[in-house]
Structure 1
Amino acid sequence: MALAPDRDKALDLALAQIDKQFGKGSVMRLGDEGRAPIEVIPTGSIALDVALGIGGYPRGRVVEVYGPESSGKTTVALHAVANAQR
């Protein structure tokens, strides 16, 4: 079902204003583009890289590591720091 012409124009205008204010790519329509390329920092563990889905930690974003005591959180964090410095 197509949108009414006025509604479609209003939506396009709103999206253009958001892109102008916050930068291109701040709003994406489902199916418009594939996944945006994300620069990653490898974790040092192939299994964890695969589990994260993008091959490591996304560079420039906040990542929270949590878990029970003695589960390897500090080790994972130190490996991430070492890989980020390479």
Structure 2
Amino acid sequence: MKTRVNREFENDATPGRLLMERYRADLDGNNVDPNGSLALVHYRGTRGELDLGQEYSRSADPKGRITRALTLAQLGWSDRTCLDESVERLIELLRAA
């Protein structure tokens, strides 16, 4: 359950996959959405965003893995949604590095 509300984020129905693709494009210098694509993913903090972060964690692309780490590391912000799963996956990734 959300402990705070961001009206802008609450009203944004952009799919999480598209937001993560925008962020990944930003890493190439395309500046598609430099200020908010992952912020909305972090804010939502749902199982869907967790699954996307885990999907990106299997990417062969180094910048895809950056996207993954930043997604999982901040997923759910202060509401701590999916916290255990996110931390567990990040620890697995560190051990594999």
> Does TM-score exceed 0.5, indicating one fold?
no
Between structure 1 and structure 2, the one with the greater Rg is 1
Richer in strand (by share): 1
Richer in helix (by share): 2
* TM-score normalized with structure 1 length: 0.28
Q: Which structure has more RCO (C-alpha within 8 Å, separation ≥ 6)?
A: 2
